[in-house]
Each structure stands twice: as C-alpha cells, then as structure tokens.
C-alpha cells in the first residue's frame, strides 16, 4: 500500500479498467449464479465448495484449507457446510490426528449435484465469456490473474 496519508488515486484509464473489471465480475457471477440456482438447484456457494472438494484426493479437505481456498470467514464456512450437510451434499469428519481439526467430505449426493450442474455451467461460461475473447486475450488474462493471485497469496494474513 502507499505511504500513510498519501493516496495514490487511480488515473482515468486505471479507473475505467478497474470499474469495468468489477462490473464484469459482478454481472458474470450474478448471471452464472442465477443459472446454477434455477437450472440445477445448486447455489454458487454450494458449487464452489463441491468443485473444490472434487479437485482434491478422496473428495476431502480440512475445514481451514477449504475456507482459505474460498476466502471465507470461519463462521460463514461453518454455517454453509452445516446447510450442505443437512441436504446430504457433504459430511463433516473429525480429524483423528488433531482433535480440533475437521474435514469436509463430499458425498455421493454432492458428487451427483456437481456432475449434474457442471455441463450447463461450462456451457454458460463459454456462451457468456469464452466465446467473446481471443486466444491472445485469454493468455493475457491468465497471466494477469496468476500474477495478482500469486501476490494475494504472498500477502495472505
């Protein structure tokens, strides 16, 4: 961040780019979220949890690691996982090595939900985003995203 008291205001070009990026993120996220909910009865938060769990061995992840991956606070994580467990999508398992730790584990119901939602979600990502960027733009976006995410990971508190 800048020096104490010295605000580094955005230039007109920076502000236009930033606001466009924020609008894109909000609109795309909103559209994809509404589509998931209406067509698959899976909320965007459910989908994010389920995708993270299908990306790890055995479909299990420590609560704290999943919360960190999703950038969720402990209370949000706890409440959301409890709701998903109530619908049979995940279960909570205590960690035998660490009495304080616990795992979130995807169930067959959760796997079925993400497998049913994923094809339409990917189709929508293509229709709403991928079909409107060139391969060169995609490479630049990937480079930017990976660089900024790397910096955010370095400075994670």
- Residue 20, domain CATH: 1.10.10.10
83 is a domain residue: yes
150 is a domain residue: no
Q: Is 154 helix (H, G, I), strand (E, B) or coil?
A: helix
Range of the domain at 17: 12-122
Q: Could you tell me the pTM of the whole model?
A: 0.86
Number of domains in the chain: 1
Backbone torsion region of residue 42, taken as left when φ is above 0, otherwise alpha when ψ lies between -120 and 50, otherwise beta: beta
What's residue 97's pLDDT? 72
What's residue 85's pLDDT? 97
How far apart CA 15 and CA 34 sit, in angstroms, is 28
Radius of gyration of the chain (CA): 19
156 is a domain residue: no
Which residues make Cβ contacts (< 8 Å) with residue 94, sequence separation at least 6? Answer: 101, 102, 103
Q: Please, are residues 115 and 51 in contact by the beta-carbon 8 Å criterion?
A: no
143 is a domain residue: no
User: 90 pairs with which residues across the strands?
Assistant: 106
65 is a domain residue: yes
153 is a domain residue: no
Mean pLDDT (10-residue bins), the chain, 157 residues? 78 97 96 94 96 94 93 94 97 79 94 96 96 97 95 83
How far apart CA 113 and CA 40 sit, in angstroms, is 8
Which residues make Cβ contacts (< 8 Å) with residue 131, sequence separation at least 6? Answer: none
What's residue 57's pLDDT? 86
What's residue 96's pLDDT? 74
Structure tokens at 56: 């790890």
95 is a domain residue: yes
42 is a domain residue: yes
Q: CA–CA distance from 98 to each of 93, 103, 104 (Å)?
A: 11, 11, 14
Q: Classify residue 45 by its DSSP letter.
A: H
């Amino acid at each position: 961040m800048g020096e104490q008291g010295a605000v580094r205001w955005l230039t007109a070009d920076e502000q236009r780019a930033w606001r466009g990026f924020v609008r894109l993120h909000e609109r795309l996220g909103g559209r994809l979220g509404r589509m998931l909910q209406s067509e698959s009865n899976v909320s965007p938060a459910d989908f994010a949890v389920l995708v993270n769990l299908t990306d790890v061995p055995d479909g299990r992840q420590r609560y704290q690691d999943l919360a960190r991956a999703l950038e969720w606070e402990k209370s949000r994580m706890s409440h959301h996982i409890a709701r998903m467990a109530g619908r049979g999508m995940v279960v909570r398992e205590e960690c035998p090595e660490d009495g304080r730790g616990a795992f979130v584990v995807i169930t067959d119901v959760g796997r079925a939900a993400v497998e049913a939602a994923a094809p339409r979600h990917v189709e929508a990502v293509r229709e709403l985003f991928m079909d409107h960027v060139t391969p060169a733009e995609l490479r630049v976006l990937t480079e930017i995203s990976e660089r900024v995410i790397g910096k955010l990971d370095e400075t994670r508190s």
